[in-house]
Amino acid sequence: MCGIVGLFLKDPALEPKLGAMLTEMLITMTDRGPDSAGIAIYGHPVRGQAKLTVQSPEPGKDFKSLADDLAAVIGAPVTGDIKDTHIVLHLPADRLEEARAAIATLRPSATVMSAGEGIEIYKEVGLPKDVAARFGLEKMSGTHGIGHTRMATESAVTTAGAHPFSTGPDQCLVHNGSLSNHNSVRRVLKRAGMTFRTENDTEVAAAFLTHKMHEGANLGEAMEATLTDLDGFFTFVVGTRDGFGVVRDPIACKPAVMAETDQYVAFGSEYRAMVNLPGIETARVWEPEPATVYFWER
């Protein structure tokens, strides 16, 4: 069991409240996943600018002077915004890959959680309410976001094993379920040049989508391919810079509820997660069909 929540805003007036709405949804899903929690939140991209979200088990040591050290390596201005065990580094978009590589050398114990123009990922072990409070999720704004509460089954309860997983720029994926062929798919993807940080099945699903899109598939086509190439139980919710997608395996035993109004599209593992959203009483509420890709883009 795990819990998933997601919000894709259509009405810009709700953007300042995105973090608050997602936090409430996430905490409601604590019963489904008390081990760890995580959130991917997307803001409006700033032209020419990119963001790296970096996590460290020793933030006091690793984040001190990190922005300056990184600026010296890439030869461009970098600013840092520390949030508990995470730091968001703002830098020129054309130096993103260079900066990402430099982090590994500058701070070997730190991990890049996400990279892109809009995305920031925060995840830690602990109760969702505590994780949300540590990062101040409630105060965050944005255009869309995905949250996950984890009850681990396929790999250890660690920060790296928490969701969302990000394996490509501005991409993220969260998962409720368990994959049975992740080891064989991981081997195929490794031969194709993908790298993995964990033994986690969900990381394989995220990398599978990234690889398909790298080969030229659009997100919809990549999500379709999960239905034939991934074996096991899954409800996936996927984020990109401009979009938000949902797909369930053909057996569809992992729950999913969606709601749509003029203001937003919402996803919840259960309806309970959505009861406080504005206008939910008159929203179109439905259960996404098995083996069917749903996708919204702005």
Partner 1 sequence: MQVFDLEAQGLRALNATLHGLSGQTNETAWEIVNPRGSHAIAVGVDAPVDITVRGSTGYYCAGMNKQATIRVKGSAGPGVAENMMSGTVIIDGDASQYAGATGRGGLLVIKGNASSRCGISMKGIDIVVHGNIGHMSAFMAQSGSLVVLGNAGEALGDSLYEARLFVRGSVKSLGADCIEKEMRPEHLRLLADLLKRGEADHLAKPEEFRRYGSARKLYTFNIDNAAAY
Does the annotation count 2 as an active-site position? yes
Q: Which of 159, 161, 99 is nearest to 90 (CA)?
A: 99
Selected range binding partner 1 among 8-16, 110-118, 209-217, 244-252, rule: CB under 8 A: 244-252
- Choosing from 34, 220, 290, 296, the residue that interacts with partner 1 (CB under 8 A) is 290
Residues pairing with 267 in the sheet: 6, 258
Q: How many residues bind partner 1 (CB under 8 A)?
A: 17
| Interface with partner 1, residue 287, by CB under 8 A | yes
If the CB atoms of residues 104 and 253 are measured against partner 1, the closer one turns out to be: 253
Beta bridge partners of 36: 125, 150
Considering the rule CB under 8 A, would residue 233 count as an interface residue with partner 1?
Answer: no
5 strand-pairing partners: 147, 268
Show the binding pattern over residues 248-277: x = contacts partner 1 (CB under 8 A), - = does not: --xxxx-x-x------------xxxxxx--
Classify burial at 1, counting beta carbons within 10 Å of its beta carbon; exposed 0-12, middle 13-18, buried 19 or more: middle
Please choose, out of 85-93, 112-120, 205-213, 279-287, the segment that lies near partner 1 by the rule CB under 8 A: 279-287
Looking at beta carbons only, is 106 or 257 nearer to partner 1? 257
232: contact with partner 1 by CB under 8 A: no
Both structure tokens of 97? 């890959």
Q: Residues in the site for partner 1, rule: CB under 8 A?
A: 250-253, 255, 257, 270-275, 285-287, 289-290
